[in-house]
């Protein structure tokens, strides 16, 4: 099996995985999940594990016997830089095998977990785990194909999916940040009753549920949101306004949920997007020979994509008058420092397994 065959095999597995309508099973009978969904997801995972194993074999052989090929060809290189050419080829092979090894290990764990789901597990939990496994398969495939195409000189067929995933994640984060902002804002207004706070929360949740992006939320997130929405309805219909303690507990639960949802920031594609945007903005504003006094309009538009990453940045993004460069220095530096620290921690955990699956 050559590189083109491996690429086609990988593409077939990704297409098979993307064709699974996982959300369709949220309202199906439990036995249909066991008969249809779980076997289909496990089959996709097995296919991906198989293609990654073939990649390790293929590139393991080519690394042991480094013969002239696509990975080491630089037709315009002179005879004196052959050593650099081989080093570049070895680095390309190493990246492919590192990513394939790590992805195979992660997908193997996903497959094992799906195969051991207890029979009484809630349907939404099974759907959520299947969705996570499929997302992990697709993102792994995107990164590995990217590395393989860079080494082999092949045309990339999956990279556009990364932009699709990133765009979706940015929309989800923005929706969650808007929810948090509407519910919490700068804190309760003086004299605002629990009833008024809960009415505001009910409006914010209804707006999120009606948002087009709602269908793209994880099943577990939708389950939590809809559970809170039911509690709000029950509390209102039971006319419990006279018991502020019950309402306060419900408000605290909603407030905690709005914070929990912003853990979407842990998604690798958002971390890497944000790190790139913040680093570029910081360089343009504070490292350029002639830094501007006001943030340029095109840069402000880029910074808007960070909405939901950090409370202080959110305040600047939503404040139409916060264009002074000096106002942005500390928030940008703190966010950049945090993202860099997270990246170092992740790379430390990965150890010798290689770079992040999203390091394009």
Model confidence pLDDT, tens digit, residues 309-335: 999 999 999 887 768 899 999 999 999
pLDDT on residue 356: 44
pLDDT on residue 82: 47
Task: Decide: helix, strand or coil at residue 199.
Answer: helix
What torsion do the CA atoms of 357, 358, 359, 360 make, to the nearest 10 degrees?
A: 120
Taking Cα atoms as reference points, which of 212, 234, 226 lies closest to residue 124? 226
Taking Cα atoms as reference points, which of 132, 97, 153, 126 lies closest to residue 37? 126
On whether the pTM is more than 0.85, the answer is no
The angle at the Cα of 132, spanning 131 to 137, to the nearest 5 degrees, equals 100
Which residues in the chain show pLDDT less than 70?
61-88, 186-192, 239-242, 322, 346-360
What torsion do the CA atoms of 347, 350, 355, 360 make, to the nearest 10 degrees?
A: -80
DSSP secondary-structure letter at 34?
A: I
pLDDT on residue 62: 42
pLDDT on residue 87: 64
Tokens of residue 64, six digits? 């042991």
pLDDT on residue 357: 46
pLDDT on residue 104: 94
pLDDT on residue 83: 47
CA-to-CA distance for 204 and 180, rounded, in angstroms? Answer: 9
Measured between alpha carbons, how far apart are the two ends of the chain, in Å?
A: 25
CA-to-CA distance for 237 and 17, rounded, in angstroms? Answer: 43
Taking Cα atoms as reference points, which of 58, 52, 50, 67 lies closest to residue 2? 58
Model confidence pLDDT, tens digit, residues 248-258: 889 999 999 99
pLDDT on residue 319: 85
């Amino acid at each position: 099996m050559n590189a083109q065959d491996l690429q086609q095999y990988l593409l077939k597995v990704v297409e098979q995985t993307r064709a699974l309508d996982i959300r369709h099973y949220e309202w199906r009978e439990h036995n249909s999940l066991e008969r249809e969904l779980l076997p289909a997801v496990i089959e996709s995972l097995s296919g991906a594990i198989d293609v990654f194993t073939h990649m390790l074999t293929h590139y393991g052989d080519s690394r042991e016997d480094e013969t002239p090929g696509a990975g080491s060809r630089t037709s315009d290189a002179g005879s004196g830089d052959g050593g650099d050419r081989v080093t570049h080829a070895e680095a390309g092979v190493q990246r492919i095998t590192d990513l394939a090894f790590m992805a195979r290990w992660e997908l193997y764990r996903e497959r094992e977990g799906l195969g051991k789901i207890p029979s009484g597990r809630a349907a939404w939990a099974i759907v959520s785990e299947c969705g996570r496994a499929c997302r992990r398969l697709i993102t792994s495939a995107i990164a590995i194909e990217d590395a393989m195409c860079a080494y082999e000189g092949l045309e990339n067929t999956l990279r556009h999916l990364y932009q699709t995933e990133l765009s979706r994640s940015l929309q989800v984060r923005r929706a969650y940040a808007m929810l948090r902002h509407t519910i919490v804002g700068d804190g309760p207004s003086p004299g605002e009753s629990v009833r008024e706070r809960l009415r505001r929360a009910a409006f914010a949740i209804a707006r999120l549920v009606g948002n087009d992006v709602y269908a793209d939320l994880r099943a577990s997130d939708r389950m939590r949101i809809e559970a809170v929405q039911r509690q709000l309805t029950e509390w209102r219909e039971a006319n419990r306004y006279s018991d502020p303690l019950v309402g306060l507990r419900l408000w605290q639960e909603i407030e905690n949920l709005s914070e929990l949802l912003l853990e979407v920031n842990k998604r690798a594609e958002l971390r890497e997007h944000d790190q790139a945007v913040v680093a570029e903005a910081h360089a343009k504003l504070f490292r350029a020979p002639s830094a501007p006094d006001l943030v340029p309009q095109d840069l402000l538009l880029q910074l808007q994509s960070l909405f939901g990453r950090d409370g202080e940045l959110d305040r600047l993004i939503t404040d139409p008058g916060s264009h002074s460069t000096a106002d942005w220095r500390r928030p940008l530096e703190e966010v950049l420092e945090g993202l860099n620290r997270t990246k170092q921690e992740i790379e430390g955990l990965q150890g010798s397994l290689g770079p992040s699956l999203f390091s394009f």
